[in-house]
Amino acid sequence: MSCKMRRELEASRLDLVQKSAASGEISVKASELLSRMDFALSKHKKYIQQLDSNQSSFEYVVTEHLRLSGVYWAMSALEVWGAGDEYDKGAVADWVMQCYNDDDGSFGGNVGHDGHMLYTLSGVQLLAMCGRLDNINGAKTAAFVSGLQQADGSFAGDEWGEVDTRFSYCALCCCSILGKADAIDVPLAVQFILSCQNFDGGFGACPGAESHGGQVFTCVAVLAMAQALDQIDADRLGWWLCERQCDSGGLNGRPEKQSDVCYSWWNLTALQIIGRLHWINTKKLTQFILECQDVEDGGIADRPGNVADVYHTFFGSAGLSLLGSLDKLGVSHCPIDPVFALPKPLVASLGLQSQQLAVAASVAPTQAAASAPASQAATQP
Ligand SMILES: [Zn+2]
């Protein structure tokens, strides 16, 4: 939707609310109603529910290989909105099981696809959300995961051997959910993650690789699951993360890149885990995410004016939840655990534990003075 169309829609909405209030049709103040309408919840629900209906669309075809992750993002979006009971968990679990490879305990990205670490985590997360973890042999799945751990502690994604810190996260998260964390060498996994931390405090995909918001989430979450957060410089990392806030209010994943809604999950979760979520400007980020909504057809895009997709719809909603903004907008929601990426009540019922650093008082003054550009320092508390 174009900016012009959005402005026109906002104007007609305001007009409608004011007329209704004037005529006594509604008793609530127009301003209150407007703020509640800022998050287009019912449109977003409709968007998710209709995702599967157009199986000949371009988007459907090009994302065929990651269908399992798509289902995870869709279900998780409904969970954030507190609408977890509005989908048929039995049917979802039955479909997820069609992606399960019984010979090695892995999951592929779609029915009939080879197993991969990324989809094995999505499969396990989905079964957990559907209350159907007992559908699989947890020991066999944990053996698939542990079999991909390399001599240096890293993990490959599949038999082809690509190594990435994302896979370390998938491995620990998956085995933790299955109650089989002891199947992998956790201290060695931690050692590898620490070798991926850069001088700027961030983390890359492998040792020496550039820091990136997505990789920061995976590495920090691994350290949280392994109770090893004390081994990093949280102030330096926190500063790198909050420097990712752009003039638009949105966050980027690396310096000099455009802001993108998905970093409202990757970067914010890392900030939350290390107790420094308040180092970014909440109001500006909230506004940015809201501007990325398609208030006509539902869904959230990566940036304002772009086409909405399920991935950014989940991460944008989860970001608003983490910021406490859904509360302020009057939208009831279910918080998502920043480490396990599952609804918090589910994490509690599975008995999953992770470390979280105490909330830091403020930005370390020496660091702020040393490296903050004036425009960004102004956004700090
Ligand atoms: Zn994105």
Cα(253) to ligand 1 centroid in Å equals: 9
Tell me the domain boundaries of the chain.
1-10+43-50+233-351
* 87 backbone φψ class: left, alpha, beta (φ>0; ψ -120 to 50): beta
Q: pLDDT over 70 for what percent of the chain?
A: 82
Alpha-carbon distance of 77 to 109, in angstroms, equals 19
Cα(352) to ligand 1 centroid in Å equals: 28
- pLDDT bin (cut points 50, 70, 90) of residue 87 is confident
Residues contacting 43, CB < 8 A, separation 6+: 293, 294, 295, 296, 297, 298, 299
User: In the block, which residue shows the tokens 């959005």?
Assistant: 6
Cα(358) to ligand 1 centroid in Å equals: 29
For residue 118, the Cα-to-chain-centroid distance in whole angstroms is 14
Cα(36) to ligand 1 centroid in Å equals: 26
Q: Give the other-Cβ count within 10 Å of 144's Cβ.
A: 22
Say which residue, 17 or 307, is predicted with more confidence. 307
Residue 308 has pLDDT above 60, yes or no: yes
Cα(292) to ligand 1 centroid in Å equals: 11
Strand, coil or helix: 185: coil
CA dihedral 57, 60, 63, 64 (to 10 degrees): -120
CATH no. of 1-10+43-50+233-351 = 1.50.10.20
Cα(338) to ligand 1 centroid in Å equals: 17
Cα(33) to ligand 1 centroid in Å equals: 30
Query: For the residues 50-60, what does the mean pLDDT come to?
Result: 64
Cα(251) to ligand 1 centroid in Å equals: 10
> DSSP letter at 158?
S
Say which residue, 37 or 107, is predicted with more confidence. 107
Cα(365) to ligand 1 centroid in Å equals: 31
- Per-residue pLDDT, 352: 98
Cα(367) to ligand 1 centroid in Å equals: 29
Cα(235) to ligand 1 centroid in Å equals: 25
Alpha-carbon distance of 79 to 109, in angstroms, equals 21
CA 23, 24, 28, 33 torsion-angle sign: negative
Strand, coil or helix: 68: helix
Q: Give the other-Cβ count within 10 Å of 209's Cβ.
A: 14
Residue 24 has pLDDT above 60, yes or no: no
Residue 59 has pLDDT above 60, yes or no: no
For residue 43, the Cα-to-chain-centroid distance in whole angstroms is 20
Q: Give the other-Cβ count within 10 Å of 372's Cβ.
A: 17
Cα(109) to ligand 1 centroid in Å equals: 20
CA atoms within 13 A of residue 165's CA, in its CB half-sphere: 30
Strand, coil or helix: 178: coil
Cα(215) to ligand 1 centroid in Å equals: 13
Q: Average pLDDT over the chain, rounded to whole? A: 86
Residues contacting 68, CB < 8 A, separation 6+: 96, 99, 107, 108, 109, 110, 119, 122, 123, 126
Residue 31 has pLDDT above 50, yes or no: no
Alpha-carbon distance of 241 to 295, in angstroms, equals 29
Alpha-carbon distance of 205 to 214, in angstroms, equals 9
Q: pLDDT over 90 for what percent of the chain?
A: 73
Say which residue, 353 or 63, is predicted with more confidence. 353
pTM beyond 0.75: the answer is yes
DSSP string, 298-360: --B-SSTTSPPBHHHHHHHHHHHHHHTHHHHTT----PBPTTT-SBHHHHHHTT-----PPPP
